[in-house]
């Protein structure tokens, strides 16, 4: 295993901490939506009801706490960016494959996320902006997870040697396609959660109102919910096959484990969704549905990042073997 500098290890640990922090922030944002506290600070931003410390009702307290947590992640990212820039000349931080690029991209997304938060409040929570706000939070978390994988904090420091039957290029492509599929599914889930009437539009499970499809004239909310369900069923079949294939094609044990975790999270999510719908959408099951959905995204990102690392390690090894072959064919075979 390649030695990692203390600076890389430190950045990796901070990136992982920030990713976990962001996960908690995403869940708290869901609580804001589920409890109807999005306008708890009125249409004021960054102040709350026109002041920095307002009088607190329950809705105001929930929204104010969410904003305070969001400010906290901004400070963490600022510290990480400063530290990464100060050490950009060290191996593993600057350059291609280093930590600096995902960290800087994450910093840009934090700024975008803050602006989207302001727009959400000023426009009084339009569903489209809320969905973009949520998906941007997931993308920001992705940059932190990628940095943690590159630092070796997630999945160990290096990929394992290629094993019999492994195909790192196909494993990477499969993980990337699964990640894109998951992004589409979660976007549809966010639309279902935020478009008025969509959560209640399809009662029953697995059918929608005891039919295979919404009847004609059901309206947009029903079709959004129905599309989300159909994509979820297809995604379940896809990830089942992809995770099984990862056991044969992936190089490292860490990549195989990430694929298995993603599959388990999807199975749990199906159970949660069924209970949530059959129980008529109680708030605590809505919160758990969000928590599991975000966990699926985190697992998919780690899976794809580890598969990419496996591929890069294999390509580097192939290059080394090619160089040895030019010097001495016997060395290359050894």
pLDDT (tens digit per residue) in 123-147: 988 999 999 999 999 999 999 999 9
CA of 309: how far to CAs of 52, 120, 148, 168, 248, in Å? 45, 37, 12, 9, 17
The pTM score is 0.90
Give pLDDT, residue 99.
93
Low-confidence ranges of the chain (pLDDT < 70): 1-3, 157-165, 317-334
DSSP letter, residue 211: B
CA of 231: how far to CAs of 214, 238, 272, 294, in Å? 15, 10, 16, 17
Residue corresponding to tokens 């709350």: 48
Residue corresponding to tokens 């549905």: 289
Q: How far apart are CA 267 and CA 182, in angstroms?
A: 14
CA of 285: how far to CAs of 31, 34, 185, in Å? 11, 10, 19
Q: How far apart are CA 121 and CA 165, in angstroms?
A: 53
Q: How far apart are CA 325 and CA 334, in angstroms?
A: 10
Residue corresponding to tokens 């992809």: 242
**Tokens in use for 64?**
């104010």
- List the one residue out of 306, 12, 303 whose CA is nearest residue 160: 306
Q: Is 208 helix (H, G, I), strand (E, B) or coil?
A: strand
Give pLDDT, residue 322.
44
Q: Where are the beta strands (DSSP E) in 146-261?
A: none
Q: Is the dihedral of CA 202, 266, 109, 44 positive or negative?
A: positive
């Amino acid at each position: 295993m390649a030695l990692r500098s203390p600076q890389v290890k430190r950045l990796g640990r901070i990136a992982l901490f920030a990713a976990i922090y962001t996960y908690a922030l995403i869940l708290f944002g869901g609580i804001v939506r589920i409890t109807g506290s999005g306008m708890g600070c009125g249409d004021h931003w960054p102040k709350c009801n026109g002041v920095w410390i307002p009088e607190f009702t329950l809705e105001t307290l929930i929204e104010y706490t969410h904003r305070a947590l969001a400010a906290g992640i901004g400070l963490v990212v600022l510290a990480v960016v400063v530290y990464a820039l100060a050490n950009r000349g060290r191996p593993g931080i600057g350059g291609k494959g280093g930590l600096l690029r995902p960290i800087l991209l994450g910093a840009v997304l934090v700024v975008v996320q803050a602006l989207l938060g302001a727009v959400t409040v000023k426009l009084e929570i339009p569903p489209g902006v809320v969905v973009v706000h949520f998906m941007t939070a997931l993308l920001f978390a992705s940059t932190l997870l990628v940095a943690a994988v590159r630092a070796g904090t997630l999945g160990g420091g290096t990929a394992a040697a290629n094993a019999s039957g492994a195909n790192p290029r196909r494993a990477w492509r499969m993980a990337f396609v699964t990640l894109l599929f998951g992004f589409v599914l979660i976007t549809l889930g966010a639309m279902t959660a935020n478009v008025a009437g969509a959560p209640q539009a399809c009662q029953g499970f697995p059918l929608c109102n005891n039919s295979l499809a919404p009847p004609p004239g059901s309206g947009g909310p029903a079709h959004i919910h129905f599309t989300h369900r159909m994509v979820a069923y297809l995604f379940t079949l896809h990830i089942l096959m992809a995770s099984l294939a990862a056991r044969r094609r992936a190089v490292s044990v860490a990549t195989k484990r990430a694929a298995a975790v993603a599959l388990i999270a999807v199975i749990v999510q199906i159970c949660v969704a069924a209970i949530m719908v059959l129980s008529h959408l109680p708030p605590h099951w809505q919160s758990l549905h969000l928590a599991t959905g975000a966990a699926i995204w985190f697992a998919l990102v780690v899976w794809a990042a580890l598969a990419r690392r496996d591929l890069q390690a294999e390509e580097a090894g192939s290059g080394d073997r090619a160089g040895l072959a030019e010097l001495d064919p016997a060395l290359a075979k050894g």
